[in-house]
């Protein structure tokens, strides 16, 4: 898709007119719409055909909700696709802020995504063709917001693909190769450790989880360090490319376990976006990527394994594996890079889904300033977080008789909290660490597909948080 800018009011065949809700009649050129016909109410759409031109009046509501605006335009792009042939014209009124324009552009581009990756008759969205022209009509210079919207959507589209593609495609090696190629394209350094190197340097918890798989584990380290960079942020994303549960094999829901690397995908997408936007911040990100499989070499319930931190871990449940690879990721990041703030993001527990449903991620931190910053950054773009406690009263859930710590409490309650307490144990009392459990918000049911699919939750949240530093 090519984008052209103009303030010429000549109409193309398809005209997109997103409007805020108003109490007054809408006058657009010689078209008059009374309030009873169209007022710009949220999620409303009024279609008018006139003189061989199609006009789509898109209601954005009155509260200027970033996520709602983005979704509304994605809906147009995805569900009105038959209207788009070779060109369209987008009219941006002076009432729209830069954030709203960013959401509009991002939504339109996200609407090109289709789940049928392997369908023989899959059709390309018109926006994806080189011939299609989107002409943007505005009396103001909205170039910056438009370019940001495209970059945000591009990073989220990459994340969609990483999470939605099947596990025989998205292996640990695929994630490592993706990181290497993205680093070359966008400008960040990448280093990858395989099984041999991981074992040599003491990433024992990480190595133990993946040793039962035919697909070699990959410990991926990315570093974006622009000249005169500001605050140093560290990220860790859980990269279980498929989770059988290990020898504590899952008895339900295994078909969806290709999404167990959605935390890793969010970190990978965020690294692309951070570098693409050329943010002036030093960011180091680690993605421990492996497959939790069942084999003669798989680690066992009741095993005691080591970790990069030097602490021993009693394995109560091999299906509590995500926290093991995160423990080594956090320890390695803090010991070798010492970032000022550390954030890990993971599809970690069903407990977080039971508590918060599909509306928001669970946030854990003992740093109240960090908590407020993360929640505000999420609220601004519609990726909400809710803080749960990290009280020491829950510390007994991870105490082990035989080892320094155990990976699962064995209790059917407070699972998300005890998992967070386990991760906290490996942060070396870092003063600015947060854990985000996104099990309920990264692989969702919504209007854009008939089956569960990726949401890219976390990509924009992490980036927005860093921008707000």
Positions marked catalytic: 250, 323
Cα dihedral 85→87→88→92 (10° resolution):
150
Q: How far does the chain reach from its first CA to its final CA, in angstroms?
A: 34
Query: What backbone phi and psi angles, to 5 degrees, belong to 150?
Result: -65, -45
Looking only at the bridges linking them, the beta strands covering 31-33 and 26-28 are antiparallel
Residues listed for the chain: 469
Q: Which of 297, 310, 308, 345 is nearest to 197 (CA)?
A: 308
CA distances 22 to 71, 139, 308, Å, are: 20, 20, 59
CA distance 195 to 199: 6
| 437: CB partners within 8 A, 6+ apart | 346, 347, 348, 349, 352, 361, 362, 364, 416, 419, 420
Task: Identify whether the C-beta of residue 198 lies closer than 8 Å to the C-beta of residue 210.
Answer: no
Torsion, Cα of 190, 191, 193, 197 (10° steps): 180
46: left (phi over 0), alpha (psi -120 to 50) or beta: beta
Query: Nearest CA to 152 among 142, 164, 162, 144?
Result: 144
- For residues 326-363, b (16+ Cβ closer than 10 Å) or e, as one string? bbbbbbbbbeebebebbbbbbbbbebbbebbeeebbbb
Q: Could you tell me the two tokens for 236?
A: 């860790």
Kindly report the backbone phi and psi dihedral angles of residue 221, in degrees, each rounded to the nearest multiple of 5, phi listed first. -120, 125
- Provide the token pair at 254: 């295994």
Asked if 70 contacts 380 with a C-beta cutoff of 8 angstroms, the reply is no
What is the rounded distance in angstroms from the CA atom of residue 330 to the CA atom of residue 336?
10
């Amino acid at each position: 898709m090519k984008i052209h800018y103009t303030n010429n009011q000549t109409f193309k065949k398809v005209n997109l007119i997103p409007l805020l809700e108003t109490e007054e009649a809408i006058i657009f050129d010689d078209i008059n719409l009374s309030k009873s016909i169209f007022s710009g109410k949220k999620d409303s759409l009024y279609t008018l055909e006139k003189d061989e031109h199609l006009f789509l009046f898109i209601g954005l509501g009155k509260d200027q909700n970033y996520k709602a605006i983005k979704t509304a335009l994605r809906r147009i792009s995805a569900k009105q696709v038959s209207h788009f042939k070779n060109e369209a014209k987008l009219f941006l009124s002076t009432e729209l802020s830069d954030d709203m324009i960013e959401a509009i552009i991002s939504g339109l581009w996200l609407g090109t995504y289709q789940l049928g990756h392997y369908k023989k008759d899959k059709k390309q969205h018109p926006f994806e063709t080189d011939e299609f022209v989107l002409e943007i009509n505005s009396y103001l210079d909205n170039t910056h917001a438009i370019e940001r919207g495209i970059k945000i959507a591009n990073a989220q589209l990459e994340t969609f693909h990483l999470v939605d593609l099947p596990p025989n495609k998205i292996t640990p090696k695929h994630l490592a190769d993706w990181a290497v190629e993205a680093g070359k394209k966008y400008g960040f350094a990448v280093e990858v450790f395989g099984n041999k190197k991981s074992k040599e340097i003491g990433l024992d918890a990480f190595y133990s989880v993946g040793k039962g798989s035919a697909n070699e584990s990959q410990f991926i380290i990315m570093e974006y360090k622009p000249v005169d960079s500001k605050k140093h942020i560290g990220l860790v994303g859980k990269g279980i490319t498929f989770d059988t549960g290990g020898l504590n094999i899952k008895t339900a829901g295994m078909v969806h376990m290709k999404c167990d690397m959605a935390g890793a995908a969010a970190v990978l997408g965020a690294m692309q976006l951070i570098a693409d936007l050329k943010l002036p911040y030093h960011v180091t990100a680690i993605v421990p990527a492996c497959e939790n499989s069942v084999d003669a070499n798989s680690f066992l319930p009741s095993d005691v394994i080591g970790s990069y931190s030097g602490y021993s871990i009693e394995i109560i449940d091999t299906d509590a594996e995500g926290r093991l690879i995160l423990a080594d990721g956090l320890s390695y990041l803090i010991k070798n890079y010492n970032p000022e703030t550390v954030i890990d993001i993971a599809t970690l527990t069903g407990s977080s889904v039971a508590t918060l449903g599909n509306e928001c991620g669970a946030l854990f931190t003992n740093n109240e300033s960090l908590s407020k910053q993360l929640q505000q950054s999420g609220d601004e773009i519609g990726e909400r977080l809710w803080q749960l406690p990290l009280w020491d009263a829950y510390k007994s859930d991870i105490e082990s008789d035989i080892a320094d710590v155990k990976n699962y409490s064995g209790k059917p309650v407070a699972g998300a909290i005890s998992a967070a307490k386990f991760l906290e144990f490996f942060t070396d009392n870092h003063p600015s660490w947060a854990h985000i459990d996104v099990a309920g918000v990264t692989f969702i049911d919504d209007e854009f597909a008939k089956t569960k699919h990726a949401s890219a939750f976390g990509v924009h949240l992490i980036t927005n948080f860093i921008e707000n530093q």
